[in-house]
């Protein structure tokens, strides 16, 4: 999240993990002014897109739990679950605005995160 100090116009980058629906109190490193930073609507939309992407990926894994682990072990995940992944992408793309999609491929990130965690669980 980026905000601008109202005193000196310095751009401040705030760790997104500190960002909540409540304002975050921070101090400008240049002039020392104390300010409250809030998530922008764009930040909210990105967070919603990330949650949707993770939910879609979780549903794919849940409804195909009988093949997921073998597909990951055999490096055939995208071959075996390609139709489901494409169907999930259609759903994701129908609900996420082009502006948010231009900021990042959150659906791809959710798939990669799922695979990374699952490979770690499987010791791969």
| Per-residue pLDDT tens digits for 77-121 | 999 999 999 999 999 999 998 888 888 999 999 999 999 999 999
Instruction: Answer whether 62's CB lies under 8 Å from 49's CB.
Output: no
Residue pointed to by tokens 């605005």: 97
Instruction: Answer whether 33's CB lies under 8 Å from 8's CB.
Output: yes
Instruction: Answer whether 106's CB lies under 8 Å from 43's CB.
Output: no
Q: What is the mean pLDDT of residues 35-59?
A: 85
Per-residue confidence (pLDDT) for residue 35, from 0 to 100? 82
- Which of residues 28 and 90 earns the better pLDDT score? 90
**What's the CA dihedral at 76, 78, 81, 85 to 10 degrees?**
170
Q: How high does pLDDT run on average in the chain?
A: 87
């Amino acid at each position: 999240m980026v905000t601008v100090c109202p005193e000196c116009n310095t751009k401040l980058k705030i760790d997104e993990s500190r960002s909540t629906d409540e304002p975050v109190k921070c101090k400008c490193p240049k002039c020392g002014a104390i300010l409250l930073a809030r998530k922008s609507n764009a930040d909210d939309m990105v967070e919603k897109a990330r949650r949707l992407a993770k939910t879609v990926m979780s549903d794919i894994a849940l409804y195909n739990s009988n093949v997921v682990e073998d597909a990951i072990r055999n490096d055939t995940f995208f071959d075996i679950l390609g139709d489901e992944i494409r169907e999930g992408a259609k759903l994701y793309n129908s609900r996420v605005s082009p502006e948010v999609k231009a900021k990042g491929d959150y659906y791809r990130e959710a798939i990669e995160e799922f695979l990374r965690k699952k490979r770690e669980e499987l010791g791969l």
